[in-house]
Structure 1
Amino acid sequence: MPLHPQAQAFVDTLAEEDRPSWEELGVEKAREVFLTFEEMCGDAPELARVEDHTLPCGLRLRLYSNHATAVPVTMFFHGGGWVLGNLDTHDAFCRRLADASGCAVVAVDYGLSPENAFPGPIDDCYRATEYVVQNAARLNVDASRLAVAGDSAGGHLAASVAIRSRDQGDFPIALQVLLYPVIEPNFETPSYRDFADGFGLTRENMRWFWSQFLDGQAGASEAAPSQAASHEHLPPALVITAEYDVLRDEGNRYAQLLQRSGVEVQHQQHDGMLHAFLHFAGIFDTGMEVGQQVAAEIGRRLR
């Protein structure tokens, strides 16, 4: 399918502006630029509860809920290549997710790489999830009905937390929601070759993000959810991918890997779409529509 007209307009604008790439900007400047994308993120509905919490270890969380009573909870881990992003960059998405799902959402401000390299972001997200489970009554959420979700690198973190939770048995996860997830550092898939440049997220962007995440470590296979010793007995998965995305093939293959391992999987590839179309729902109508569908599915599964 050809690029959706809104996606075509986006890539045309990128070509005209000819902005420096993330790797050309470097870590600090890239983080500053990423913060300027707020206007592309879409509506941010008012909610009954939006609360910032800080764990004893210093990790920050933001809780979103439209309910005074305890409702199921979705842990959300933001994208940005493990290098970019914070609670504010994905605030609008989390508000819409809480509003449309009827569940609470807890966003995690995990430590960024390279300062907090692998496995640091995974450790942070797992620790935050464990904290929410242990403090559910104080936070007024129902952590017995728990999902983990994330977009892009956040999808990698959600998949990793699901694997660790199964292995360690600290808390049950009812659903993993992987939105165009990063799965493994294989830069030679057909989607990496076909969309290497000119479609937003590039192959060189991802090489750079992975290098920051691993920070010189030789643990690429350990960091890849696809390389886990087993994928059996993992939580049901909702996997969303985009046709014109370098990450498309690894997301599709991970959905297939989970299915072959006996995991219940609902997988949707959205043709004509680019990476981050859900995050930037302010400029992609499909992102707003699919975001509402994802939220409704989370609500149906958890409630």
Structure 2
Amino acid sequence: MSAPLPFRTRVFALLECFTNKSIADASVEEIQARRAARAKLLSSPVGRLVAGRPHPGVRIEDRRVDLEHEAIDDLEPEPSPVSLRLRIYRPSERVRGPLPVVLLFHGGGWVLGNAEQNEWWASHMAARTPCLVVSADYRLAPEHPYPAAVLDCWAVHRWLAVHAAELGGDPSRVVVAGDSAGGNLAAVVADLAGRSGGPLPVGQVLIYPAAEMEEEFPSERQFANAPVLTSRSMRAFVRLYLAGADPYVPTAAPLRGSIAGAAVPALVQMAGHDPLRDNAIRYAAALRSKGGDVTETDYPDAVHGYLSLPGISPSATRALDEVIAFVRRVTTADPAGEADPSVPSRI
């Protein structure tokens, strides 16, 4: 169900109509240029007004790691290690004990974006939970089409199971999270963990996730020309990402699989004005049908991307509060919410 867009969101949408060329019309060279321009804009004063500023109470560092891939289903692993950048957010304030970890995958249609674009909610989540947030700069299409992103994200998840303690994190309390394409990848990682026997995350945060690649659901028709993401752009992102691969395999479309991810508690958020809205609704229903612990929340006055656009979407603050509450719940051993001595506390 949708509600009228707030004034500042409508102003943003109007400006975007004149400035945002569809990805469907972009060449590979233009896509690369757009990535650079987008990163520059996000770091500018205007970009900070729209995308938010990092929390002052966090330390941010980059770490490059070499990842060994493994065969997944019928996907062949990379022949040699892949070097990826991890952007790590940790609370500046001292905490007692190892921190729970949120492994974060950014959105951008598997084609655009970087680890910095979620700086606002990643840093606020790190400071306020408190937790360690590890944002993965996975490889992008069209240079690296499916399954590169899946192989990368699964490899980072497995890497954390071994190395989280080196970062000050607790490898037994990892939450996978992502928005849009990143929500797709978080769902795929949780599903792979459920099917393979681990390492199993303790929760999954899926923000307006892409769960299906082929079928057109009603929300895609209803919001075909919505702000931020249109139906035409959706289809272009899928085409660039899959590059002819099977759109029905669960490592691409988790809605098409056995939904083993239901073994992992889930928070699924959706926007009222979003062609991907029904993707979120149907995936939450699929998890629930398999007995999953699912919290499903609708932000009816929001557009796709709201959690990365706090400057133009009033829903972002409420949505972030919900994400933090969910991460706290699933990383605390006591389901009744009583303080657990193993959970980090401020000192």
Q: TM-score, normalised by structure 1?
A: 0.94
CA deviation after TM superposition for structure 1 residue 260, in Å: 0.8
CA deviation after TM superposition for structure 1 residue 301, in Å: 2.2
Are residues 136 and 19 of structure 1, via their aligned partners in 2, closer, same or farther at CA, if it must alter by over 3 Å? Answer: closer
Taking the aligned partners of 2:221 and 2:144, their CA distance within structure 1 comes to: 30
List runs of 5+ in structure 1 lacking aligned partners: none
Counterpart amino acid of residue 195 in structure 1: F
Are residues 205 and 33 of structure 1, via their aligned partners in 2, closer, same or farther at CA, if it must alter by over 3 Å? Answer: farther
Q: Percent identity?
A: 34
Following superposition of structure 1 onto structure 2, how do residues 126-165 of structure 1 map, counting pairs within 5 Å?
126-165=154-193
Counterpart amino acid of residue 212 in structure 1: L
Question: Is contact 1:201-1:246 (8 Å) kept?
Answer: yes
Taking the aligned partners of 2:228 and 2:85, their CA distance within structure 1 comes to: 29
Taking the aligned partners of 1:284 and 1:100, their CA distance within structure 2 comes to: 20
In the alignment, which residue of structure 2 is the partner of 1:291? 320
- Does 1:245 pair with 2:274? yes
Partner secondary structure for residue 111 of structure 1:
coil
- Does 1:30 pair with 2:34? yes
- Does 1:85 pair with 2:127? no
Counterpart amino acid of residue 270 in structure 1: Y
List runs of 5+ in structure 2 lacking aligned partners: 67-81, 333-347
Counterpart amino acid of residue 128 in structure 1: V
Once superposed, which parts of structure 1, at least 4 consecutive aligned residues long, lie more than 4 Å away?
A: none
In the alignment, which residue of structure 2 is the partner of 1:55? 65
Taking the aligned partners of 1:277 and 1:150, their CA distance within structure 2 comes to: 13
Are residues 159 and 230 of structure 1, via their aligned partners in 2, closer, same or farther at CA, if it must alter by over 3 Å? Answer: closer
- Does 1:226 pair with 2:230? no
Taking the aligned partners of 2:214 and 2:272, their CA distance within structure 1 comes to: 17
CA deviation after TM superposition for structure 1 residue 60, in Å: 1.2
Counterpart amino acid of residue 123 in structure 1: L
Taking the aligned partners of 2:33 and 2:236, their CA distance within structure 1 comes to: 14
Question: Is contact 1:101-1:297 (8 Å) kept?
Answer: no
Counterpart amino acid of residue 277 in structure 2: R
Residues 25-54 of structure 1 show CA distances to partners (whole Å, capped at 9, x for unaligned) of 332133234322432211211344322211
Counterpart amino acid of residue 21 in structure 1: S
In the alignment, which residue of structure 2 is the partner of 1:281? 310
Size of the alignment, in residue pairs?
302
Partner secondary structure for residue 117 of structure 2:
coil
Taking the aligned partners of 1:217 and 1:198, their CA distance within structure 2 comes to: 27
Are residues 285 and 2 of structure 1, via their aligned partners in 2, closer, same or farther at CA, if it must alter by over 3 Å? Answer: closer
Question: Is contact 1:77-1:154 (8 Å) kept?
Answer: yes
CA deviation after TM superposition for structure 1 residue 232, in Å: 6.6
- Does 1:269 pair with 2:271? no
Aligned-pair Cα RMSD in Å: 1.8
Are residues 92 and 4 of structure 1, via their aligned partners in 2, closer, same or farther at CA, if it must alter by over 3 Å? Answer: same
Say which is worse superposed, 27-36 or 116-125, in terms of deviation: 27-36
CA deviation after TM superposition for structure 1 residue 219, in Å: 4.0
Partner secondary structure for residue 249 of structure 2:
helix
